[in-house]
Amino acid sequence: MDGFRQGRVKLLVSTNLTARGIDVPTVENVVNYDIPETVEEYVHRIGRTARMGRPGTAITFFSEWDTEFFDAIRDHVGAELLTERELSLYRAAAG
C-alpha cells in the first residue's frame, strides 16, 4: 500500500472492503470488474478518483443481467454514464 501511495506501484486490485479505506489523492482511474450492487458501493468505489479537482475516469464492466444495477447508478449519477453501444453511436455520428 505504501508503494501505491508513493507512486511506485501503478495498479491496485481492491474489494469493496478496501475501497472504503483507501485514501490516495492521486488515483486517476478506477476499473470496476463487476458492477456494484448498490449506488452506495458505486460511489465508494469511484470516489477514489478525481479528488481535489483532479480529472479521473471510472470504467465499469457489466452484462445484460446487470442492467437493473446500471440503471439505478445512472439515475443517481446522471446521464454522463454511457454504455459501449451509446459510445459507438456517438463515434459513428462524429464520423
Give the pLDDT confidence of 4-13 residue by residue, as tens digits.
Answer: 788 888 777 7
Q: What is the mean pLDDT of residues 43-63?
A: 80
What confidence category does residue 65 fall into, taking pLDDT thresholds of 50, 70 and 90? Answer: confident
Say how far apart CA 87 and CA 20 lie, in whole Å: 30
Q: What is the mean pLDDT of residues 63-76?
A: 84
Say how far apart CA 30 and CA 16 lie, in whole Å: 12
Write out the three cell numbers for 73. 447508478
The residues, any chain, with a CB within 8 Å of residue 29's CB and separated by 6 or more, are: 49, 56, 57, 58, 59
What confidence category does residue 28 fall into, taking pLDDT thresholds of 50, 70 and 90? Answer: confident
pLDDT score of 70 more than 70: yes
Domains of the chain: 2-94 (3.40.50.300)
- Please tell me what DSSP assigns to residue 74: H
Q: What is the mean pLDDT of residues 11-40?
A: 78
Q: Answer yes or no: are the C-beta atoms of 55 and 35 closer than 8 Å.
A: no
Angstrom distances, CA of residue 94 to CA of 18, 47, 57, 80: 40, 31, 22, 18
